[in-house]
Structure 1
Amino acid sequence: MINFKDISYLKRGTSRQKEAYKVLIELDFFEFLKEFNPILVGTIPIDIDLESSDLDIVCQSENHEEFIKIVSEKYGELSGFEVKTIPSYKNLKTIIVTFKYKTFPIEIFVQNKPSEQQDSYLHMLIEYEVLLEKDKEFKSKIIALKKQGVKTEPAFAKLLGLEGNPYEALLNYGLEKGYIF
C-alpha cells in the first residue's frame, strides 16, 4: 500500500506524477501547510488522471479565515487564485482554494474535519484498492469514461454496478469490502 501522506511516492511514478511532485516541491506546499495536514488526493496519485486533471489537496482547519490569510499571502499572486466558501457541505464548514501553477490547476479542499476522514481521501483509497484488484482493462474503462466527461466516482460506480448516489455508494462499497473503516 502506498503511503499517500508522503508525496515522495510520486518521484517513482509516471512522468505526470513526477511533474506533479516537482510542482508541489517548488510550491513548498506540504512543508508550508503541514499544520493543516495536507494530503494529495484524486486521480494523479492513483494514475487515472487525464491531461487536464488538477492537483487536488485536502486540508484540515478549524479556522478557515486563518487558512485563507496564510494561503493568500503565499499563493495569492498565482494565476486564477480564488477562494470559495461552500455552504454547509455535510454540515461541515468547507472552503475551496483554486489557482494554477505551471501546467497544473490546483484545488485545495479545506474542512474542519481530519484530512484522513474527508470523502475525497476515502474515495481515493477505495479507488486505489479497486484498481489493485481489477485488471488493466478496468483501469482503461475508467479512463475512457473520464475522457467522455464522466467524473471519477460515477465512473467507478458505473463499472462496479453501484446504484444511487455514486459518491455515497462508493463509500459504502469501501466499507463493505473493508478498504476503509
Structure 2
Amino acid sequence: MRAATEGFRPDYADAVAGVRVAEHLKDFDWRIVGTPPLGIATANSDIDIICHASDYERFAKVVWGSFGYCLNFSLRQWTSGGRCVVCDFFFDGWEFQVFGDCRAIVDQSAWRHFVVEQRLLNLGGETLRQRVFAERLEGLKTEPAFAKVLGLDGDPFSEMQKLFEAKDEHLHLLIARNS
C-alpha cells in the first residue's frame, strides 16, 4: 500500500515537476512511462521513469544526490541481465521508480510496452481505455490487463512486446476482434 494514498494527491506531472526530474535527469534522456500518462492510473500506481545511463556509477551518484532526501529512498543495482540501476522514493503522494539502463530508450522493454499501449489506446479510444482500466481496478498490472482485454495468450509481457512492430491495421483488428 502506498504511504500517502489518503487525502489529496497532485497530478503526476505536478509531482514530477516538484521533485525537479527534468533538471536532475537532463543528462540521461529520461522518459515517463506507465499508467499515469496513459490515463489508466489507479490509487496504487507509481511514476516510472526510464533513463539511458551508459555509466551506472555516475547515474547512481546523480539520483542519490538528487532524490536521496525523499521519503523511503532506496537505490540498488540488479545483479542479472542488463544490471540496471533502480531508484525508489516517495514524493508528493506518489511513489517514483527511476530506472537507469545502458540501452538506448528505444531499445528498453518499458519504452516498447508504453509505446504499444499508447498506440492501442489511441486506436481503441475511450472504450478500450475503460476496459483496460476496469482490469487495473481489479488488481491486474498494466501488461496483463491489456493482454486480457485483447485476448492475448501466453506471457503478457512477451505478447505486448511482440506488438511493438505491428502495423496499425493489425492492432485495429486485434481490438475489433476482442470488443
TM-score, normalised to structure 1, is 0.82
Query: 8 Å contact 2:77–2:86 — kept in the other structure?
Result: yes
Moved over 6 A (4+): none
- Following superposition of structure 1 onto structure 2, how do residues 1-181 of structure 1 map, counting pairs within 5 Å? 19-89=11-81, 92-177=82-167
Q: Secondary structure at the match of 2:75?
A: strand
- SS of 1:80's equivalent in the other structure is strand
Structure 1 residue 178 displacement after superposition: 5.7
> How does the TM-score come out when normalised to structure 2?
0.83
SS of aligned partner of 2:89 = strand
Question: Structure 1 CA distance, aligned partners of 2:92 and 2:20?
Answer: 14
How far residue 130 of structure 1 moved from its aligned partner, in angstroms, is 0.7
Name the aligned partner's letter for residue 96 of structure 2.
I
Distance change in 2, residues 1:66/1:84 (3 Å): same
1:118-159 superposed Cα distances (whole Å, 9 cap, x missing partner) = 111111111111111114232112111111111100111111
Unaligned runs of 5+ in 2: 1-7, 170-179
The CA distance in 1 between the partners of 2:51 and 2:34, in whole Å, is: 13
Q: Distance in 2 between matches of 1:84 and 1:127?
A: 28
Q: Distance in 2 between matches of 1:97 and 1:50?
A: 21
In structure 1, the gaps of 5 or more residues are 1-15
Describe the SS at the equivalent of 2:11.
helix
Structure 1 residue 164: deviation in Å? 1.5
Q: Aligned equivalents of 1:135 and 1:53: distance in 2?
A: 21
Partner SS for 1:44: helix
State the AA in 1 paired with 2:78. I
Larger Rg computed on CA atoms: 2
The answer to whether the 8 Å contact 2:53/2:102 transfers is: yes
Q: Quote the residue 2:172 is aligned against.
A: none
Instruction: Give per-residue Cα distances to partners, 1:2-56, cap 9 Å, x unaligned.
Output: xxxxxxxxxxxxxx9x722222222221122111111011011110111221111
| Alignment check: 8 A CA contact 2:24 2:62 kept | no
Distance in 2 of aligned mates of 1:39 and 1:106: 13
Q: By how many angstroms is 1:102 displaced? A: 1.1
Higher relative contact order (CA 8 A, sep 6+): 2
C-alpha separation in 2, matches of 1:122 and 1:55? 17
Structure 2 CA distance, aligned partners of 1:172 and 1:73? 37
Percent identical pairs in the alignment equals 27
Residues 177 and 171 of structure 1: is their aligned pair in 2 closer, same or farther, counting only changes over 3 Å? farther
Could you tell me how far apart the structure 1 residues matched to 2:125 and 2:48 are?
A: 25
